[in-house]
């Protein structure tokens, strides 16, 4: 299946959990996406490099299972501010350490510049479609009418 839809996928910098990453990559490819899979232990700088090499990417998707996503993404605000990662950033997985989960964990990720936080990787294709539709709607310029 050929596609013109590209995503960049990887696992947060301190996280070496590879199985979910490969399953997500496989599912996205099956759904017709070209997946640039950076694998595990991926720092923000590698996502920036991949985006520079694939500026057509619709999104960067970052997984975390060890719960250290917030710490691993400490360079994200600078990359976003400098325009080095100018596409939506989606984060999902186990986003905090320990069994107690707090909505503040998600709020902190949004404050770093994450656009979407997901709890279920099966939501990724639908979220990518929604983000694409929003971008297309934002790109529509109203026609000027002659007076």
Q: Enter the tokens of residue 140.
A: 């529509």
**Rounded CA separation 51/10 (Å):** 12
Residue 143 is predicted with a pLDDT of: 57
**What pLDDT is stored for residue 4 in this prediction?**
83
The reported pTM is 0.90
pLDDT at position 7 over 70:
yes
* pLDDT per residue as tens digits for the range 73-123: 999 999 999 999 999 999 999 887 766 667 788 999 999 999 999 989 999
Domain ranges of the chain: 6-122
The pLDDT of residue 142 is: 62
The answer to whether 34 is a known catalytic residue is no
According to the model, what pLDDT value does residue 53 have?
98
Active site residue 17: yes
Average pLDDT over residues 27-37: 96
Residue 145 has what pLDDT? 54
Q: Give the DSSP per-residue string, 8-72.
A: EEEEBTT----HHHHHHHHHHHHTT-EEEE--SSB-HHHHHHHHHH-TTEEEEEEEESSS-HHHH
Rounded distance between C-alpha atoms, residue 141 and residue 145, angstroms: 12
Q: Which residues pair with 32 in a beta bridge?
A: none
Considering 17, 54, 68, 115, which one is annotated as catalytic? 17
Q: What is the pLDDT of residue 58?
A: 97
Least confident of 28-32, 36-40, 136-140: 136-140
- CATH (residue range 6-122): 3.40.50.280
Dig out the tokens for 17 from the structure: 């959990």
């Amino acid at each position: 299946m050929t596609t013109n839809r590209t995503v960049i996928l990887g696992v947060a910098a301190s996280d070496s959990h590879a199985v979910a990453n490969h399953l997500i990559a496989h599912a996205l490819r099956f759904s017709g996406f070209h997946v640039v899979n950076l694998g595990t232990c991926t720092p923000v700088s590698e996502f920036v490099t991949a985006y520079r090499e694939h500026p057509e990417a619709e999104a960067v998707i970052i997984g975390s299972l060890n719960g250290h996503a917030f710490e691993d993404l400490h360079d994200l605000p600078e990359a976003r501010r400098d325009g080095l990662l100018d596409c939506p950033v989606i984060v999902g997985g186990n986003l905090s350490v320990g069994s107690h989960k707090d909505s503040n964990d998600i709020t902190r990720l949004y404050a770093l510049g994450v656009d979407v936080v997901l709890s279920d990787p099966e939501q990724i294709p639908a979220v990518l479609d929604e983000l694409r539709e929003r971008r297309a709607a934002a790109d529509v310029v109203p026609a000027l009418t002659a007076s």
